[in-house]
Amino acid sequence: MMKQIQTFLMLIAVTLTFSLHSTALEAGEIEYQEQASEIIFNSLQSEEKGSFLRKAYKQLLFTPVWMHEKGLSSAAKELFDYIADDETLDRQGKLYRDSLTLRQMAENLYARGGDIYEKVSLEFKITQLYKGYTDYAFFGSINWGAFQARISNLMVNDVSTEWVLHRPGVYPVKILEQAAFGTSLKKMFDALQPTAYHYKALQKALIHYMKIREEGGWEPVYLSKKLTAGKRDRGVYSLRERLRMTGDYVSCGEEEEDRYDHCLQEAVKRFQKRHGLKADGVVGPVTVKVLNVPVQERITTIRLNLDRLKWLNEREGNRHVIVNIPDFKLYFEEDGKLIQTMRVVTGKPNHPTPIFSDTVEYIVLNPYWNIPKSIIQKEMIPKLLRNPNAMAKQGIEIRAGWGKDAPLVNPHSVNWAQYRYSKTVPYRFAQVPGYKNALGKVKFLFPNKFSVYMHDTPSKHLFKRSKRAFSHGCIRLQNPRGLLKTFSTFNENVDYDKAQKTLKGKEKTFLKLNHKVPIDVVYLTAWVDYDGKLQFRDDVYHYDEMQLKSFRKW
């Protein structure tokens, strides 16, 4: 009896819905919708409560979205067209082929006058297709749960990191509901596409590489020797063609057959720069190895990074600081345009810099370095056990607690061995301000649970390296004073000239920013830069490798 009452109430609700937004429907269509709704309602009673079908149609009051009485709805046609037009989809993949199959099935069903039960059955199949496509387009193929479990397992090897996610603001059930009420599915899909981090440009790069694959990909480059300016080698032919395919080689006129000419050298430099290699134009084993990465591997890397972009924090402010770990670079953008960039040093693979978002709120001049407990136990205490005066040589004070007036401790008076593996260390280790301070002379704070920040460093030589994963997790800046100057241009309380005078001394000075700036620490091994160039970098933390272990195929 209860079930009959529920069905009756549901049918009343559906009828009211139709009367409100479908007054133009013919009587036959209204009758079809009512009958289809009852079939949908009854059919879904055996579905699991958490299933997408059950949640979606409950929200829709069990109204059919795709299959009308005499033909496909406009929403169904838009869905099929959108999938057909999506050039990023693998044409041999299940999602694309299912779309073609279901469209043909619908056309055949209407042509032969199929019954309402067949239409409802196909309605469900199209909804599952819709769910699959929205997952692909807006959420991607990375199994984030499996990946988070993998990086958590690194704790076993004393590696602690985190990748903080920002769920895409896409709600497939709500989109479906609006489509059922006549809102264009295409317009909604277009509006929901990510725009930050040059997402659409990376999509175009993916399509270009997919076309290269369809045409057979690129042939391997084989050289008999290292190529330098003016040398001849039969491998020059394949090198030139390889670089032509990815747009690095642009003919300068007459090509000099097997000679490594100036035009080809410039193409190699462009390629090297795009792949994070030393751009010297010399084609040695490392450059050849990168040239010979198969096109399919590059496609997979691009797809992986497109899906990472979907889960990044899209910022609304006009200023934005981005630190890309595999690129070892900081980018400061304003209104989407690059206004400053510099090299950075990031965490070692066994001390990885976490992936997260925050806001730069403070600048500290002449900072103290309050040394974390992990570094005290792993590095400082072993030095003290060998030489109790080791900290003094590094300008590190040891104090009995964290209070402002905590007294200095004589290192000879402490049995340091008892704190080597203890849960707590009751002493504060702080390196005093100065040019030898590990934080250098300037620190940029964005308070976070990881105790990660950006700072100056006395180890300037590390910025000459192409791979710069050397820190304990914090971000060391190549040009901290330049970044300080940039912040001073829009923070009236940050006087750059006055700060320069302060930095000549050792007095710690704390500057609170009036205009804070969002910062995002990201992990991109493929992206399109501000000049529209496709970039690739090495997987420094092996996150590509981990995520590809459970990467969904469509």
Which residues are known catalytic residues?
Answer: 455, 474
CA 550 vs CA 141, 143, 150, 226, 546: distances in Å: 8, 6, 11, 39, 8
Q: Which amino acid is at 431?
A: Q
Residue with the two structure tokens 């070692």: 348
Beta partners for residue 334, in sequence order: 319, 337
Beta partners for residue 369, in sequence order: 431
Residue with the two structure tokens 């934080």: 439
Neighbours of 299 (CB within 10 A): 22
**Closest Cα partner for 265 from 243, 286, 246, 247?**
243
Contacts of 174 (CB under 8 A, 6+ apart): 59
C-alpha to C-alpha distance for 264 and 255, rounded to whole angstroms: 9
Q: What is the DSSP string of 95-134?
A: HHHHHHHHHHHHHHHHHHT--HHHHHHHHHHHHHHHHHHH
**Hey, which bits of 372-493 come out as E strands?**
396-399, 428-431, 442-445, 454-455, 469-471, 475-477
Residue with the two structure tokens 């004070």: 397
C-alpha to C-alpha distance for 176 and 60, rounded to whole angstroms: 8
225 within 8 A of 231, measured Cβ to Cβ: yes
Count CA within 13 A, CB hemisphere, residue 126.
28
139 within 8 A of 554, measured Cβ to Cβ: no
Neighbours of 284 (CB within 10 A): 15
Q: Bin 267: left if φ > 0, else alpha if -120 < ψ < 50, else beta.
A: alpha
Kind plus residue range of the DSSP H or E element containing 534? strand 534-536
**Closest Cα partner for 40 from 172, 180, 184, 135?**
180
CA 366 vs CA 176, 356, 439, 505, 541: distances in Å: 56, 26, 9, 8, 32
